[in-house]
Structure 1
Amino acid sequence: MTGEIKARVQREVDDFLAAQATILADVHGDCAPLVGYLTGFLSGGKRLRAAFCYWAWRAAGGADGRGIVRASAALEFFQAAALIHDDVMDASETRRGAPAMHRRFAALHRGHGWRGEPGRFGESAAVLAGDLCLVWSDELYTASGLHPLALTRGRAVFNSMRTQLMGGQYLDLLEQAIAGGRELGALERARRVVHYKSAKYTVEHPLLLGARLAGAGDGLLARLSAFGLPLGEAFQLRDDILGVFGDPARTGKPAGDDLREGKRTVLVALALDRASAPQRALVEELLGSPTLDEAGVGALREIIVDTGALSAVEDMISGLLERSLAALTAAPMDRASRSALEGLAQAATDRVA
C-alpha cells in the first residue's frame, strides 16, 4: 500500500513539473536546465514525508483522493529545497549517487566555457533551484484541490514546519562553526539540531499536517506527535550512522562524507564525550577536513566504535522506536492506517540508505 502511495506521489510531482516547464519555457529556453535537473532530482527518494502525511489523513478519517496525494506531494518539493540548499552549505559533491545540484550547474558552466567561476555559478543556480522548490511547495499545497477549509486547518502546521526547519538548519551551521570552542553541552545541542532539523519536519509535522487537513481532534493529534517525535529523532540518528558507516553504493554519498563536512552529530558528540585525550585530539584534528582520506575516515570510525558511541546510538534508536510504536498502539485509528504507519516506522529506522 505504501508503495502505491509512493507511485501516486511521483505522478503528481511529474505532472506538476511538466506544467512548470511550460511556464519557464515562456521565460526563455535557457531555463530548461532548471527544470531538467530538478526533474531528475525529484525522481528519486523514499517519499516518507508524503506517506506520513497521507496515512495520518486516513487515520483521521479522511477519504482517499487525488487532493490529499497532491497536498502530500507538496512536502517533497519542500524536502528537495532543503536538500539542495543543504548540499550547497556543506559543499557536498554528491546526492543520491549523482552530482549535487550545485555541482551539476558548475559542470554546465564549465562545459560551455562561460565567463566567471563555475563553482560560484553552480552555487548561485542551485540556490535559485532550491528557492523554486520552496515556491512550488506552497503552490502545490494551495492548488491541491482539497477544500479551502481543510487547507486553512493545515496551514499553521505547514508554515511552522518550514520556519522551524530553517531554524534547525541554522543551528546545524552554527554548531559546525563554533562547536570546537564549546565542549560543554555538545550532546544536548546536537539533539536540539536533530529535533528541529529532522525529527519534526521528517515525521511529526507531516503527520500533524495530514491529520489537521482531515479535521483530527486533539486526542489523535497528541498521539501522532508522541509517535512522530521519537521516530523522527531515530530516523536522523540512523542517518548519522549511515553518514559515517554507510555503503556509498547504497547511500549515494562518499564514505565518511559527514566527517569531512565536520557534522557535529549525536554520534560525534558521544564519541568526543567518551574519548581519551589522544582520541579527542585526533577527532578535533581530522573532523571537518575537506582532504580527509580513507585512512583518516577509518581512524575516526575506530574511535567512534571504541568509545562505544556507535553502540550507544544504536541503543538510542531502538529505544526511540519502541516509544514511538507504543504511542501508535494507543492512538485511535483504523487497522489499515496503523499497519501502514508501523511499516513506515520500520522503514525509517531499519534503512541502509
Structure 2
Amino acid sequence: MTATMTTGTVPTGSAATEGLDALARRCLAEAHGFVSERAAEHFSGRAEGALAETALPEFVAGGKCLRPLFAYVGWRCGQPESGAAIRAVAALELLHCFALVQDDVMDGSPLRRGRPALHVRFTRWHEEQGWAGSASRFGESAAILFGDLFLVWSEQLLRESGLTAGQLARGWVHYDAMRTELAVGQLADLVNDARALPSWDTVLDVLRRKSGNYTVRRPLEFGAALAGCGPELTAGLAEFGGLVGEAFQLRDDLLGVFGDPTVTGKPAGQDLRDRKASSVVVLAAAMAGRRRQAAFTELLELPTIDDDAVSRWRELIVATGARERMGELIRERADKALAAIDPAVVPRHAADLLATLAARCTERDR
C-alpha cells in the first residue's frame, strides 16, 4: 500500500491529502470555537482574564490537529462520517495544548509556533502592569493554570461531543492511557536530561512513551474504540501507530537539531541549546570514534551553548554519520508501518489516509 494508489481516475494520495486538510480545519474550528466560548464564559469582564480571553483561543489557533486526524481515521475504520465524532476527536487537540503549555514551562522555551510561548506572554503582561513580585514566576504560574484548563476543557468537549454514552465508554480507557503515558513519559524525559547521556535503548523507550504512543498509536486506538472496531483491526492499527509514532519522534529530534527556525518556529538548534539527550545526540555519541568522542566530551562540558557551539555540534553529528542513519531509521519504520496495514481488514479509504498521515509524520519539516 502506498499513498499514490488510485481509485478509478482520481489519485488517492491527492484526494487523501485534501480530505485530511479539510478534516484538520474542521477539528481546529471545533477546538478553537469551544475554547473561545469557555474563555468568554469564564474571563469576559474580569480584570484577571483580560489577556486570557484572547491568548487561550490564539494558542489553539496554531495547531495542526495531527492527533485528532489519527483518531478520526481510527473512527472511519468502523463508522461513517460523523460531526459528533469530529467534535470528540477535536478534544485531543486541547489535550495537546495542555501538553505544549506544560512542556514550554519545563523547557523554558521562548517560542511556540513562531510566537511567544504562553508563559512568556503572561510574563510580559505582568511587567506591563507594573505589578510587584517576579514577572517570570507569575508567567510560569499562569501558564500552568491555563494548561490545566486546556486539560479540563479537553474532557468537557469529549463528553459534550454528541457521541452516545456507550460510544464514549469504549474510548475512556484509551483517553486515560494517553494522559497517563504523556505525564510518565515527560518525567522519564526530564530524568534523561538531568543525567549523563542515556543508552540508545533508554532513549527509544522514552520517546515511545512520551511522544510515539501519545501522537499516533493511542489516538488511533481511541478512534477505533469509539467506533466499536474489532480486536484484529485494532491490533493492526496499534502496530502501525507504534512504528509511525517512533518515526515521528525521531524526525522531531532531527528537526530539533537541524530544523530551519523560519519553518519550525523555534531557535536554530534549540534541543542542543537545551542540552536535550535526544535520539540524534545519543546516536551520534554511540557512532563517534575515539577522536570524535573527545570532541563530544568537550561540547558536553561547555557552560553555555552559543551559536558557535551549535554549529560545532551539528558538524560533529554529521561527521559521525548519525544524521544519515536517523533518516534510514525513520524510513525503515515507515515501511514497516505500511506493511502492518492489512487490506483485508482495514477499509481502503482508511488505508489511504493512514499512508498519507505516515508520510506527513516522517517527511515533515516542522
For the criterion TM > 0.5, the same-fold answer is yes
Q: Give the Cα separation in 2 of the matches to 1:280 and 1:95.
A: 33
Displacement of 1:290: 7.8
Once structures 1 and 2 are overlaid, which stretch shifts more, 286-295 or 40-49?
A: 286-295
Distance 1:292 1:107 in 2: 25
The aligned counterpart of 1:298 is: 311
Pair 352,25 (structure 1): closer, same or farther in 2 beyond 3 Å = same
Q: Deviations over 1:41-73 (max 9, x none)?
A: 11112211000001110012x121221111111
CA, structure 1 residues 290+219, in 2 after alignment: closer, same or farther (shift >3 Å)? farther
Gaps of 5+ in 1: none
Residue 195 of structure 1 pairs with residue 216 of structure 2: no
Post-superposition shift, 1:32?
3.2
- CA displacement 1:196-220 (0-9 Å, x = unmatched): 0111010000000000000010000
Given that 1:88 and 1:123 are in contact with CA atoms closer than 8 Å, whether structure 2 keeps it comes out as yes
Q: CA deviation at 1:34?
A: 2.0
Contact 2:285 2:293 in 1 (8 A): yes
Q: Which residue of 2 aligns with 1:83?
A: 100
CA distance in structure 2 between the aligned counterparts of 1:75 and 1:193, rounded to whole angstroms = 21
Indicate the SS of the match to 2:254.
Answer: helix
Q: Answer yes or no: is the 8 Å Cα contact 1:164–1:196 preserved in 2.
A: yes
For the 8 Å contact 1:238–1:317, the answer to whether it is kept is yes
How many angstroms apart in 2 are the aligned matches of 1:2 and 1:289? 45
Q: How does 1:280-291 map to 2 (within 5 A)?
A: 280-287=293-300, 291=304
C-alpha separation between the residues in 2 aligned to 1:285 and 1:190? 22
- Within the candidate set 130, 140, 155, 2:147 is matched to 130
Secondary structure of the 1:146 match is coil
| Residue-by-residue CA offset, 1:243-282 (whole Å, 9 max, x unaligned) | 1001000000000000111111111111111224453344
Larger mean CA deviation between 328-337 and 308-317 belongs to 328-337
- Please list the CA deviations of residues 291-339 of structure 1 after superposition, one character each: whole Å capped at 9, or x if unmatched: 4121100110111111111111111000000010111244612222111
Aligned partner of residue 253 in structure 1, secondary structure: coil
State the one-letter code of the partner of 1:110.
Answer: E
- Indicate the RMSD between aligned Cα atoms, in angstroms: 1.6
* Whole-angstrom CA distance in 1 between matches of 2:164 and 2:303: 50
Q: In 2, are the aligned partners of 1:12 and 1:73 still within 8 Å (CA)?
A: yes
Q: Which residue does 2:275 correspond to in 1?
A: 262
Match of 2:284 among 253, 258, 271: 271
TM-score (norm 2): 0.91
Number of equivalent positions: 348
Question: Does 2:238 correspond to 1:225?
Answer: yes
2:53, 2:328 → 1: CA distance?
A: 42
SS of match in other structure, 2:53: helix
State the match for 1:54 in structure 2.
72
Choose from 336, 340, 350 the match for 1:337: 350
Q: Separation in 2 of the partners of 1:226 and 1:192? A: 16
1:319 corresponds to which of 332, 343, 346? 332
How far apart in 2 are the matches of 1:290 and 1:159? 40
1:162 Cα deviation from its structure 2 partner: 0.4
Q: Tell me which residue corresponds to 1:210.
A: 223
8 Å Cα contact 1:250/1:352 also seen in 2: yes
Identity %: 43
